[in-house]
Amino acid sequence: MTRKQKRMLIRIVTSGVLFGAAAVLPLSGWERLAAFLVPYAVIGWDVLWRAVRNIAHGQVFDENFLMALATVGALAIGEYPEAVFVMLFYQVGELFQSYAVDRSRKSIASLMDIRPDYANIETEDGLKQVDPEEVAVGDAIIIKAGERIPLDGVVLEGTSALDTAALTGESLPRQVQPGDDVISGCVNLTGLLKVQVTRAFEESTVSRILDLVENAGSRKARAEHFITRFARWYTPIVVLAAVALAVLPPLFTQVGWLDSIQRALNFLVVSCPCALVISVPLSFFGGIGGASRAGILVKGGNYLEVLAKTEIVVFDKTGTLTQGVFNVTAIHPDHCDEGQLLELAALAECASDHPISRSLLEAWGQIPDSSRVTQAEALSGRGVRAVIDGRVVCAGNDKLMEDIGVTWHPCHHVGTTVHVAADGVYLGHIVISDQVKLDAKQAITALKASGVRKTVMLTGDAKPVGEAVAAQLGLDEVHAQLLPADKVEQVEALLKQVSPKGALAFVGDGINDAPVLSRADVGVAMGALGSDAAIEAADIVLMDDKPSKLAQAIAIARRTLTIVRQNIVFALAVKLLVLVLSALGHANMWQAVFADVGVSVIAILNAMRAMSVPKNP
């Protein structure tokens, strides 16, 4: 409990004891009123104060006003114990609510634990701890066993196992060795690592995740907007209704004034909308928190709402369903030797971030001499072009060769073919192949089991490769040889097939597909391999790059929405019932306050269920 909550607890206990004393003391008249006013003041002064202050600010109708009006009214008609009790119970409810909000905030804050405190740099007199923000790109840092990795980088020396659970929800440690990328926020478990920093702190994985989580609350779901608007209209209407209830029956029926005022006050007590106002955002908050513990970052409650009704899932191939790590399976040079062809291709690729580029550089296995390469550019969906030793070298697919007017010849190997041409002369091709991710098939099966109507793959790769992968994974549809703009067109066509109540999700790695990510109803990006652009453009990020996490994300989204709906229906139904009963004079203030606080507590407890993570279906 926080200090504030502890103080409230003390006030509740004090007021409760004083209340008990006032109730048993044999007092009457003014003395009795005074005896009850003491516990009333102890427990209710802040509510009264806020009500008065809000009136001064022109925001009359809120729950403070409702409570103040109801209890002052009860005091005025001589129902002293009721007045104190309503206030007391209201505060118990508030305390419970603030405790619940804190708990779910803490569960998200445990994610915040990934914020590193320091980075070790080597100096002449040993290791020195500095603020991670002070470390520049290119600097080397040391991470001892047990320490958190403060910045993204590449391992220079040492081997170790990393605990990535906080980021990815994955409990198996990841082995790293020199040359491997490490991301900030993981914990170094076993060995000493020397890491060269590749990103400044503000751009590091940790900072980006923290930003994301901190801003998640600001993107509200439709249900949340509904509740805010609802509360704005609801309270004034309730107050008007209460006034009518107090005034009209005595004028037109046999009901006496005292009786009707009592009914109106009960009516006010029950009408407090706290259960809805707090439990709906709390459910979304819980859902986002639960998802992030499973390594699924959701940028706002609204995306959970959309994700829950996914009908069509569209996947990118390379890096999304496949590992994005290519092995060279054949080198077929035309006018040079194999080594030269690979070298040219690798040099041309050296400025690109595409998985193909990284794999070709890896296969070549040398450090590129950057002085030989100028004007390198990536031609998205086709390949790359660069000037190497004064020759214009192009490396890429059939489309690229046609664009530059080079005659190429196909290869009998099945695989992604990278053709290479220099100064308009065809030099041959390199065939590379990628492997599907281990959980890709399971991902498609799980999606279908969860009611997704159609799964589609869009790829820029050649038709045979695309079709082979689609058949292997059991996808419903595949479209190959697409440029990034064609992918947008395909998604737009698919969007037309979505029913009005459904949604389309696009899952990509962000390389060449940021436009599609933002065009889909909900864009899902692979986080660890994925580019920064993907994480910017996506609405949901799967931190461990596993496509199977999507089905889990949908399950979390659906559960969160079920909880939200349960709370709205339950709270409204109980309220309505007690409102009618109190309007008819069948409920007293004790029952009214139980209904109000009871509903809040149950709704909040239900909302907190959203935090737990459903198992992978």
Binding site for ligand ADP (CB under 6 A): 316-318, 349, 352, 354, 356-357, 378, 381-384, 395-397, 416, 418, 459-461, 511-512
In order of 138, 519, 593, the CA distances from 195 in angstroms are 9, 38, 61
- For ligand ADP, the closer of residues 412 and 615 by Cβ is 412
Q: Helices 3-24 and 29-56 meet at what angle, rounded to 10?
A: 150
Q: How far is the CB of 399 from ligand ADP (least distance, A)?
A: 7
Q: How far is the CB of 474 from Mg ion (least distance, A)?
A: 20
- For ligand ADP, the closer of residues 91 and 397 by Cβ is 397
Q: Annotated catalytic residue: which of 62, 152, 163, 316?
A: 316
CA distance 342 to 333: 9
Residue 354 touches which member of Mg ion, ligand ADP, none, C-beta under 5-8 Å by kind: ligand ADP
- For ligand ADP, the closer of residues 373 and 571 by Cβ is 373
Q: What is the Cβ-side half-sphere exposure of residue 230, based on CA atoms within 13 angstroms?
A: 17
Residues 6+ apart with CB under 8 A from 115: 206, 210
- For ligand ADP, the closer of residues 48 and 351 by Cβ is 351
Residue 397 touches which member of Mg ion, ligand ADP, none, C-beta under 5-8 Å by kind: ligand ADP
Residues 600 and 278 sit within 8 Å (Cβ to Cβ): yes
- For ligand ADP, the closer of residues 412 and 501 by Cβ is 412
Residue 459 touches which member of ligand ADP, Mg ion, none, C-beta under 5-8 Å by kind: ligand ADP
155, 270, 470, 511: residue in contact with Mg ion (rule CB under 5 A):
511
Angle at Cα 176 formed by Cα 173 and Cα 177, nearest 5°? 160
Q: How far is the CB of 377 from ligand ADP (least distance, A)?
A: 10
Determine the interface stretch with Mg ion among 168-176, 250-258, 276-284, 310-318 (rule: CB under 5 A): 310-318
Q: How far is the CB of 1 from ligand ADP (least distance, A)?
A: 51
- Amino acid present at 390: G
Determine the interface stretch with Mg ion among 87-95, 96-104, 200-208, 308-316 (rule: CB under 5 A): 308-316
> Does 316 qualify as catalytic in the annotation?
yes
Helix, strand, coil % (nearest 5) of the chain? 55, 20, 30
Q: Which two tokens stand for residue 357?
A: 């580029």
Residue whose CB is nearest to Mg ion in the complex, by number: 318
Q: Which two tokens stand for residue 82?
A: 């009721």
- Amino acid present at 185: G
Q: How far is the CB of 512 from ligand ADP (least distance, A)?
A: 4
Helix (H, G, I), strand (E, B) or coil at 437: coil
- For ligand ADP, the closer of residues 282 and 360 by Cβ is 360
Residue whose CB is nearest to ligand ADP in the complex, by number: 460
Angular region, 59: left φ>0, alpha ψ -120 to 50, beta rest: beta
Residue 396 touches which member of Mg ion, ligand ADP, none, C-beta under 5-8 Å by kind: ligand ADP
- For Mg ion, the closer of residues 311 and 316 by Cβ is 316
CA distance 210 to 544: 17
Helix (H, G, I), strand (E, B) or coil at 256: coil
Q: How far is the CB of 461 from Mg ion (least distance, A)?
A: 9
Residue 266 touches which member of Mg ion, ligand ADP, none, C-beta under 5-8 Å by kind: none
Number of residues engaging Mg ion in binding (CB under 5 A): 4
318, 322, 359, 560: residue in contact with Mg ion (rule CB under 5 A):
318
Neighbour-count burial for 421-456, b at 16+ CB within 10 Å, e otherwise = bbeeebbbbbbbbbebbebbbbbbbbbbeeebebbb
Exposed/middle/buried for residue 282 (C-beta within 10 Å: 0-12, 13-18, 19+): buried
Q: How far is the CB of 450 from ligand ADP (least distance, A)?
A: 25
Q: Which two tokens stand for residue 614?
A: 């459903």
316, 343, 461, 539: residue in contact with Mg ion (rule CB under 5 A):
316
Q: Site residues (CB under 5 A) for Mg ion?
A: 316, 318-319, 511
Catalytic sites, residue numbers: 316
